[in-house]
Amino acid sequence: MPKTIKWGVIGCGGIARRRTIPEGLTKASNATLAAVFDVNSTANQEVAAQFGARSCGSIAELLASDVDAVYIATPVYLHCEHALAAIAAGKHVLCEKPLGMTVAEAEHMAAEAEKAKVKLGTALMMRFTAQHQAARKLIVDGALGKPVLGRAQLSCWYPRMEGAWRQDPALGGGGSLIDMGGHCIDLLEMFFGDVKKVSCFANTIVQDYKSEDSALAMLWFENGALGMVDAFFSIPDASSDNVLELYGTRGSVHAKGTIGQASHGSMVARLEGGAAGYDAQQSRTVAGEIEIAPEPVNPYRAEIEEFSQAILDNRAPAVGAAVGIRSQRVLAACYESARTSKAVDVL
Ligand X SMILES: NC(=O)c1ccc[n+]([C@@H]2O[C@H](COP(=O)([O-])OP(=O)(O)OC[C@H]3O[C@@H](n4cnc5c(N)ncnc54)[C@H](O)[C@@H]3O)[C@@H](O)[C@H]2O)c1
Q: How far is the CB of 317 from ligand X (least distance, A)?
A: 15
DSSP character string of 39-76:
SSHHHHHHHHHHHT-EE-SSHHHHHHSS-SEEEE-S-G
CB-nearer residue toward ligand X: 11 or 150: 11
Q: How far is the CB of 215 from ligand X (least distance, A)?
A: 15
For ligand X, the nearest residue by Cβ is 14
Q: How far is the CB of 96 from ligand X (least distance, A)?
A: 4
CB-nearer residue toward ligand X: 73 or 195: 73
Is residue 117 among the annotated active site residues?
no
CB-nearer residue toward ligand X: 19 or 326: 19
CB-nearer residue toward ligand X: 13 or 147: 13
**Rg value, the chain, Cα:** 20
3-state helix, strand, coil in the chain (%, to 5): 40, 25, 40
CB-nearer residue toward ligand X: 97 or 119: 97
CA pseudo-torsion sign 302, 306, 307, 312: positive
Return d(Cα 305, Cα 133) in angstroms, integer. Answer: 16
Taking CA 325 as the corner, what is the angle to CA 323 and CA 330, rounded to the nearest 5 degrees? 95
The catalytic residue among 6, 27, 91, 97 is 97
Residue numbers of the site for ligand X (CB under 6 A)? 10-11, 13-15, 19, 37-40, 43, 73-76, 78, 96-97, 123, 125, 179, 261
Closest among 155, 157, 205 to 180, alpha carbons compared:
155
Mention every residue, 6+ apart, whose C-beta is less than 8 A from residue 40: 13
Q: How far is the CB of 97 from ligand X (least distance, A)?
A: 5
Q: How far is the CB of 296 from ligand X (least distance, A)?
A: 16
Coil/strand/helix, residue 237: helix
Show which residues are catalytic. Answer: 97
